């Protein structure tokens, strides 16, 4: 099934983190899959749920605390203690959103709609729903279904699973 020499026909991508940089790789991978004609499923779990919670999806941010790869705008490494200064996270988030817009990367809500319109499945994790006391009405309207782990494996059959 996952023979690397074979062409990929289907892919399932799990998004488990809720920071901007935690969510985008999965969105870009799934959109890119559809652009190549590859079937794609997106599965949101744990803090990744924030990307499909209607009230939160427009306000994802970058973690500046404990992020050792963080750079200042002029390219110098940011001392990690700077990350705790009030406003740092929102500044870093603003910077990244600005750079992404330049590259024509859409905001989360628009990107998800684009991925859905491209024919990818968008699913929420049942356990995460229960754990965070969420209901269907809390989710973005484009979510196709709420799945158990077993349902997810059934949907993922026939292609690689990418965990992000």
Partner 1 sequence: MAVIEISGKQIELDADGHLKNLSDWNEDIAKALAQEEGIPELTDRHWLVINYMRQEFQKNNDAPSIRKLTKESGVDTKELYQLFPKGPAKKAAKIAGLPKPKGCI
Q: How far is the CB of 77 from partner 1 (least distance, A)?
A: 26
| Distance between CA atoms of residues 17 and 40, nearest Å | 19
Minimum Å gap between C-beta 102 and partner 1 is 11
Residue 122 or 129: which CB sits closer to partner 1?
Answer: 122
Residues of the shown chain interacting with partner 1 in the complex, contacts defined by CB under 8 A:
28, 31-32, 34-37, 103-106, 110, 113-114, 117-119
Q: Which is nearer to partner 1, 35 or 149 (CB)?
A: 35
User: Please, what is the minimum distance in Å from the beta carbon of residue 84 to partner 1?
Assistant: 33
| Residue nearer to partner 1 on the CB measure, 104 or 135 | 104
- Give least dist CB 34 to partner 1, A: 7
H or E element that contains 88: helix 88-102
Nearer residue to partner 1 within complex by CB, 37 or 86? 37
The least distance separating partner 1 from the CB of residue 118, rounded to whole angstroms, comes to 6
Strand order in the sheet with 39-44: 145-147, 121-125, 39-44, 10-15, 161-163
The CA distance from 157 to 62, in Å, is 33
- 101's tokens: 């817009």
Burial of 127 (0-12, 13-18, 19+ CB in 10 A): middle
Residue placing its CB nearer to partner 1 in the complex, 28 or 128: 28
Residue 42 burial by Cβ neighbours in a 10 Å radius (0-12, 13-18, 19+) = buried
> Cα(first)–Cα(last) distance of the chain, in Å?
21
């Amino acid at each position: 099934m996952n023979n690397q020499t074979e062409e990929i026909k289907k892919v399932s991508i799990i998004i488990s983190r809720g920071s901007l940089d935690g969510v985008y790789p999965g969105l870009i991978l799934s959109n890119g899959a559809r652009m190549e004609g590859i079937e794609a499923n997106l599965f949101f779990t744990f803090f990744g749920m924030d990307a499909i919670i209607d009230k939160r999806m427009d306000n994802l941010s970058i973690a500046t605390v404990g992020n050792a790869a963080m750079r200042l705008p002029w390219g110098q490494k940011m001392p990690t203690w700077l990350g705790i200064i009030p406003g740092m996270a929102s500044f870093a988030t603003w910077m990244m959103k600005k750079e992404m817009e330049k590259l024509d990367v859409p905001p989360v809500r628009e990107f998800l709609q684009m991925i859905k319109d491209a024919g990818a499945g968008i699913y929420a994790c049942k356990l995460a729903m229960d754990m965070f006391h969420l209901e269907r009405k809390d989710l973005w309207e484009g979510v196709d279904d709420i799945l158990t782990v077993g349902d997810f494996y059934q949907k993922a059959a026939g292609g690689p699973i990418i965990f992000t």
